[in-house]
Amino acid sequence: KAEAIISITNTTQQYNGSPKAVTTSTTPIGLTVVVKYTGTNVTYPESEIAPTNAGTYSVSATISDANYYGSNNATLTITPGTGVDPNEINSIKIYSNSTTVFVKIPEIIGRATIELFNILGNKVYENNNPSQGVNRIEGNFNAGAYIVKVMIGNKVKTEKVIIKK
């Protein structure tokens, strides 16, 4: 067998809920490569399935070819997500039906909070674990204007709503 070279790239990626595979290329071009991942600071037994969660993974790549041999190692780092994509923060919808406030969050990655403030700036509601989808803010609130503040990662969206009785 002749020796071949494997290059491993795309070794730092950001968590977004999808598997994160490294990219391999070979010299000569087009050889089959078997890639295995093992968690180093997270629990992830050796697997050919690319990991999803934030953490550090050792990567081993081996040529699988009748005429060539070769291997290479690398480290894959999946960094924590920063919340929502800057374009996604605008996709959060905040509205009311005059007695209940609704906050529709299409995707949550990382820490999220929903807060409701009265017009004097007093916090009257807080949810530190909102769900993806529609969240309802209900309570014995006085009629008037309120500010809804949604924080996901380091992104913030605020909007005024009216509650009627």
**Fold of the CATH domain 89-163:** Immunoglobulin-like (2.60.40)
Q: What was the pLDDT predicted at 106?
A: 83
Give the pLDDT of residue 82.
Answer: 56
Vertex 105: Cα angle to 104 and 110 (nearest 5): 155
Domain boundaries, the chain: 2-79, 89-163
Residue 156: which pLDDT band, with cuts at 50, 70 and 90? confident
Query: What number is the average pLDDT over the span 13-41?
Result: 93
**Cα–Cα distance for residue pair 44/95, rounded to 1 Å:** 42
Amino acid at residue number 28: P
Between residues 94 and 18, the one the model is more confident about: 94
Considering Cα of 77, then 78, then 82, then 85, what sign does the dihedral take?
positive
The tally of CA atoms less than 13 A away on the side-chain side of residue 48 is 4
Give the chain's largest Cα–Cα span. 81
pTM over 0.75: no
Query: Measured between alpha carbons, how far is 27 from 29 in angstroms, rounded to an integer?
Result: 5
Which strand ranges, in their side-by-side order, compose the sheet holding 12-14? 12-14, 71-79, 55-63, 33-39
Give the model's pLDDT for residue 87. Answer: 47
Q: pLDDT, tens digit, for every residue of 54-98?
A: 889 999 999 999 999 999 999 999 887 655 555 467 788 999 987
Q: Are 118 and 111 in contact (CB under 8 A)?
A: no
Task: Return the pLDDT at 139.
Answer: 86
Burial 59-78 (b: 16+ CB within 10 A, else e): bbbbbebeebebebebebeb
Residues 41, 154, 107: CA angle, nearest 5 degrees? 80
Q: Does pLDDT of 27 surpass 90?
A: yes
Q: Do domains 2-79 and 89-163 have the same CATH topology?
A: yes
Confidence (pLDDT) at 155 = 80
84-139 pLDDT, tens digit per residue, is 555 467 788 999 987 899 999 887 777 889 999 998 889 999 999 998 889 999 88
* pLDDT given at position 153: 77
**Residue 109 DSSP class:** -
Which listed CATH number (3.40.50.970, 1.20.140.10, 2.60.40.1080, 3.40.50.2300) goes with 2-79? 2.60.40.1080
Averaged over 13-20, what is the pLDDT? 86
Residue 46 banded pLDDT, cuts 50, 70, 90: very high
